[in-house]
Every structure is written in C-alpha cells, then in structure tokens.
Structure 1
Amino acid sequence: MSTPPFYELPVAHTPQHPVSALVFAPAGGSSAAPRLLVSSWDKTVRLYTLAAAEASTEEAPQQAQLVHTFEHEAAVLDVVWIDEQRAASASLDRCVRLLDLQTGQSQILGRHGSGVNRVRYDPVSELLLSTSWDSTLSIFSLSPPSQLHTLTLPAKPLAMDISPGAGAADETPRAVVAMTGRTVHIYEMRALRAACDRLAKDEKVEEKSWEPNQTRESSLKYMVRDVRCMPNGEGYASASVEGRIAVEFFAPSPEAQAQKYAFKCHRQVVDGIDTVYPVNAMAFHPRHGTFASLGGDAIASIWDAAARKRRLQYARFPSPLTAAAVSADGSLFALASGGENIEDARHEGADKGEVGGVGEGGEGNVRIHVARADEDFKPKAKAAAA
C-alpha cells in the first residue's frame, strides 16, 4: 500500500476555528526549516516552523513547532509575509497590524472603517495594500511604518492579490482587486509608488494618479471568493461561490484577451441533484504555473492553466477546505480543512445534514495538511507526435 500524499500536522495549539490564510515564508530566507504563517477566525495568527520526522528529504514535514501566537481583538481574515522578520495581518477589528516575527510583538499600522479582509505586500514598490468592507483600499509604507493614502473603491472588495514583479516574465507588479457587482480593478504598483512619493514631498497629485490602470467586468457571474496572480506575472485566476474558476490575462490586446476562459469545478451529484460547492481558495505553484483549487466539497484539485485540464484530484479531506499555500521553492503544499459545510436537513442517512458525505467543519475540526508538491503540480508531458 502506497503512502498517503498528505500528512496531518500534529501541531500544538492548532487553531480551533477555521483557517483564513496559510502563507509560507518568502524565498531567500536564512531559516533551514520551512516556516508557515496561519491566520484564523479564532482571533490569532500563528507562526510555525516545520520539520520532517525523519532525515529523508523525501518526506513531507510531519512535525510543527509553534514559535509565536499573535492575539487580535477579532477574527483574522488574512496574513502576509513582508520579509524574514515581519508580517502583516488583516482583522475584523478594522486594524492592519505589523507583526514582529522575532519578538512576537505587534503594532497597529493603520485602521479602516470596517473589517479588513485582505492584505498584500509588493517587494518591488515596497508598498503594503489592505482592503476593507468599508469599500476602501489603503496604501502603507513600512520604512518607516505609516499609512500613506486611502482610495475609495466603487464597491465592496471581496478578494485581492499582487502579481510578482522581479523574476517574472512580465516584470510589472499589479494589484488585482475583485469587488461586488463583478467589478475588477487592476493597479500598477509602480504608479502607486510614484504617486505616494509625490504626496510625501507635498507635491500636487492628480486624482487620475490613483486610478486603476484597468477596470474590468469579472468573467464570473457570482460572488468571488479568491483571486490569485500567476507566478509569471501575465494574469490571474479568480474563483466564485458558484463552483467556477476564471483564468484571465493582463495584456489588453485582442490576442491576449482571446486566451481567457472559465470552467466549472467542485460539483457532485447528491441524491440525483447537481450540487454546487464554493471554490474557497486557490494556490499557484511558483515554478510550474499550475494551481490548486479548494472547495466546500472537501476536495482539492490541481489544474494546468496552460493546457486547460485538471492535473489530478486528491481524495476527499475530512471537511470543507478553506486555505492553501505552496512554499516559495515549490517543494511543499499546505492546506487547511475545517470550514463550515453546506447542510441540508433533508439529506438522510448516517451522514445526515452533511451534503454529499462532507464531514463536519467548524470549531474543533480544523486540521492542517502538508504534502510534497513538485510531482503533483508538475504539468503532464505532452505525448510525442507519431
């Protein structure tokens, strides 16, 4: 019998409530062991170091050491690495916090008028962005820590990501903000940096300097749950509550836009009914360009964006999946189960109330799973021509 691809980490002090984000440390760090930040609805951000139970590098990490726990006043909806020593968090308490990963201390970097749902850092422009349900996007500097400017968005933001710049095929880092009403704004980070620099010098900054480089209508008809940018910087994928994923490209040329597509996923027939599950999260592999999708059906799948095909589908996890991450070197894939599931009182049987046999999530059912990533995410080789 072959070894299961995933190991459930026997971590101390595992979050008791669903995980909102998993993020591996950025590339180039000095730490020998992988480090993982975990934000949760239990009002915490946890920093772990992962280590293999055996010396063999073929093993996925099976042990986790809790390094720090950062307490918040309310649920934490997102977390992002800034560098080896710092991270930032977004919380329902309306605050964006700067986390010191060495001392375990934190400070409030800025505030919004409502809960903060996303936070991202761009190392090229050295700007930190946060979005809030008050329909604003805030821009922060970290040298010194300060809130530089706040933009009013046309609708409530649902998801955000920043494309890589340095080392990507397209070296223009962009922020993608998906909002209600199918509105998508795409900002060029260097342009925002230039506007912030002029503002700091008390120079006049025209309103158009803060406008997005592109405004689009999402290809998805229903509410977006996640947005993730391609590692080559050429585009992004977005996922919705209606079991669909859209793959889009930044270049406005007709040739580039002709490549965009959308597809159905995370669906199954339950008692003769086609049941649709939300796609809660996605994660790209930094080298292969393939990506994982995680659904409310407790299923994780790997997709080849270029070939427009599913690479593989893992066996069902214990409960709905909420977050995922691939390490910066592409060697590890982590995901979290324990999200709340779609309950249906009419569903009879031993698993009554759990549609399609999906296990119970929520408090006390949160698990973090880690596997080796390289082979599972590697695109299938094309068959040689006869």
Structure 2
Amino acid sequence: MSSFMPAANQNTNPNKSFEVAEPPNDSISSLSFSPKANHLVATSWDNQVRCWEIQHSGQNLASTPKGMISHDHPALCSTWKDDGATVFSGGCDKQAKMWSLATNQTMTVAVHDAPIKDMAWIPELNLLVTGSLDKTVKYWDTRQQSPAHTQQLPERCYALSVKQSLMVVGTADRNIIIFHLQQPQNELKRIVSPLKFQTRCVAAFPDQQGFLVGSIEGRVGVHHLDEQLLSKNFTFKCHREGNEIYSVNSLNFHPVHHTFATAGSDGSFNFWDKDSKQRLKAMQRCSQPIPCSTFNHDGSIYAYAVCYDWSKGAENHNPAAAKNHIFLHLPQEAEVKAKPRVSTGRK
C-alpha cells in the first residue's frame, strides 16, 4: 500500500523518547507491562522473551535487563498473570510458556496445532486464553496439561482482547467474535468487522460496552455491543500520509483516563478520545514502523517498539542492517486526558 518513509525523515526517535537498553536482535512482536510494577516484557522474532525493570523518577527513566527465555521459533505474543510475577509467551513453536521471574523457571502450559498469535490472562477465571492460527481459542488452567475448554473459531485468530468478563476475538475474513467469559463456551455475538480490510488489532473497552478494531488500511472502528448504542458507532482514518496508507498495528486504552493510543506502520503513535471523537495528540513519525505498544499499569509510561514490521515481506528485510528499538514515552496529561470537543459553529 505504501512506500515507507521519505528520505528526508530518517530519525528513529523524533519524539526524544527514552530508549530501553539491550533491545532484541530482531523485530519486536509484542510488548506488555506487569500489572503491579514497571517490569516490561518484549517478545521478538529472534525467538527470545526479554524482561526489563524500568526505574521511573519524575521525568527520568532507566532500564535494567532482568532476564530472558527462549522459544524454539519466533515469539509473537505475551501477557502477565495478575500476580505481576509470572509472564506468559507464545509463538511460532505453537506453544505457550509460563516464566516465573522469581525463580527463573519456565514450563510449557499450552499447545496448539499452529502458531499462537495472541493471548491474555483472565484473573476472574484464573485461566490463560490463547488464540491461534489453528482456528481455535483455548483456555488453560496452568496446573493441567489439557485445555479447560477449546473454542472453534470461523477462521484464524489474529488478535484478542480481554477486559474482565468481555473477550473480543478478531479473525481472518473480518470476523469479530464476542464472548462473555462467565460462559466462555458460548459465543455472545458474531459480527463482520465494520472495517473493509483485514483486522490487525482489537481492544475491549474498559467499561466492557464495546471494542476498538484496527485494520491494515489505516482505519479504526469504534463499536458498541448494546443495540441501543449502535448510533454511537463510527470509523475514522488514521496512519495515513497523503495517498500513502499504513496498517494500524496496536490499540491500547489508557488505564486511568480510558482514552486510547494507536500505533502504526507509518512510524507514528497518536492519542485519541473516542467519546468526543477527536485526536488529543499526534506524535512525530519515526523512520521505521511501530509494530506494538502498551501502557504501564498506571498510564504514566507508554512503551512502543520501532523496527521492521514484516508488512513488506521477508525479501525487504535485512537483519544485518535492521535496527530494533524499544522506546518509553511519558504521556503528559494534556495528551491522554479526555476533553470536551470545542464547537466551532457560530451561535
């Protein structure tokens, strides 16, 4: 859809973000922060899962590598248990691993027939949910070898998002499947994505009333589940530059203000308020795509990766020359706090 970046803009870090030490050796596929502390995990195409401790004092940040585990093939996704001390990761080896940071022990806790594309921990059920290209989601009690439940999907799972009892799953062929996790074996609703192109990411609303969906065609859909709120649904364009159109790779709700961030293959991230339908802040474009991003537990740090995102295939990737970065941005309140839309109409 696009050539990547004009030669004039080759700045990897135009927003002057803090850079995390000792980044992965290949493209970064997921980022996730501990729900309890500023511990950041990254999965990578170099098969590794890495963890850093982030020290945050005022406007100052520092990062200390805390450990690393390996998969047999590229690692694609990660999530944390609600204890803040256990990391789950999954990937192309079709396995999910559980990593205890306290003991540095790992064990395989989930197996699929194809790569695991996304995952989430469900505190209310004490279960791990994994979504795979084998067209299933599986729920796992990590003390058992077999899944607690296997749910067939209409197509390959590309993304999933859990917020308390709501789970949203995006698959190939633009299916969006909604589950109420008190009855995970039953689909609550299945819809076709409001976006006309392939789903790239989803994010359940913090209030569980709906979800966001992002596509490869530089567009986000805001969708409510209640039939009476369907008039509030809308889509909007983003991550575009003139006629160039880029994928929306990541959607993250702010944990306090419930505004959200988008990050895309154009190398930019933006903050938005869905309720007033406005962009709160547009950041400068980096010279490489942003494939993944996440907020920490209190929203004071926004982490994003800058690296090749495979949107142009392996033939356009040179591992020897490619640089992989993880940056930390400290959001200002004006960037992420909701504000009413200013009317420009005359009285």
TM-score of Structure 1 vs Structure 2, range by shorter chain? 0.7 to 0.9
Does 1:86 pair with 2:86?
yes
2:249 corresponds to 1:240: no
- 2:52 corresponds in structure 1 to 48
Q: Residue 68 of structure 2 aligns to which amino acid in structure 1?
A: T
Partner deviation per Cα, 1:226-266 (whole Å, 9 max, x = no partner) = 11112222211010001110011122x2x211211111111
Letter of the structure 1 residue corresponding to residue 126 of structure 2: E
- Per the alignment, in what secondary structure is the counterpart of residue 213 of structure 1? strand
Deviation at 1:337, TM superposition (A): 0.5
Return the letter of the residue paired with 1:368.
I
Amino acid at match of 2:18: E
Q: Is the 8 A contact 2:278 2:341 kept in 1?
A: no
Secondary structure at the counterpart of residue 173 of structure 2 = helix
Whether 1:11 and 2:21 are equivalent positions in the alignment is yes
Q: Which has the larger radius of gyration?
A: 1
Counterpart of 2:149 in structure 1 is 149
Contact 2:49 2:75 in 1 (8 A): yes
3-state secondary structure, aligned to 1:109: strand
* Distance in 2 of aligned mates of 1:225 and 1:276: 14
Give the paired residue count. Answer: 330
Q: How big is each residue's C-alpha offset from its partner over 1:23-82, in whole Å with a ceiling of 9 and x where there is no partner?
A: 1111xx3x5xx1111111111111110124xxxx33142x21111101110111100001
Give the alignment of 1:333-344 within 5 angstroms. 333-340=302-309
For 1:279, the equivalent position in structure 2 comes to: 248
Distance in 2 between residues matched to 1:88 and 1:185, nearest whole Å: 23
- Equivalent positions of 1:219-298 (< 5 A) are 219-251=194-226, 253=227, 255-269=228-242, 274-298=243-267
- The residue aligned with 2:110 is 110
In structure 1, what is the Cα distance between the partners aligned to 2:308 and 2:262? 15
Q: Give the Cα separation in 1 of the matches to 2:170 and 2:343.
A: 40
Q: Which runs of 5+ in 1 are unaligned?
A: 166-172, 193-209, 344-353, 355-359
Q: Distance in 2 between matches of 1:238 and 1:362?
A: 34
Contact 1:18–1:42, Cα closer than 8 Å, also in 2? yes
SS at match of 2:229: helix
- Residue 146 of structure 1 deviates from its aligned partner by 5.1
Q: Distance in 2 between matches of 1:301 and 1:108?
A: 36
Letter in 2 for 1:378: K
Question: What TM-score, normalized by structure 1, do the two folds share?
Answer: 0.79
What's the counterpart of residue 316 of structure 1?
285
Query: 1:383/1:177 Cα in 2 relative to 1: closer, same or farther (>3 Å)?
Result: closer
Unaligned runs of 5+ in 2: 1-13
> What is the alpha-carbon distance in structure 1 between the residues aligned to residue 321 and residue 126 of structure 2?
37
Letter in 1 for 2:338: P
One-letter amino acid of the structure 1 residue matched with residue 178 of structure 2: I
Pick closer, same or farther for the CA change 1:144–1:113 going to 2, 3 Å: closer
- What amino acid is aligned across from residue 365 of structure 1 in structure 2? K
Give the TM-score of the pair, scaled to structure 2.
Answer: 0.88
User: What's the counterpart of residue 25 of structure 1?
Assistant: 34
1:103 CA displacement: 2.0
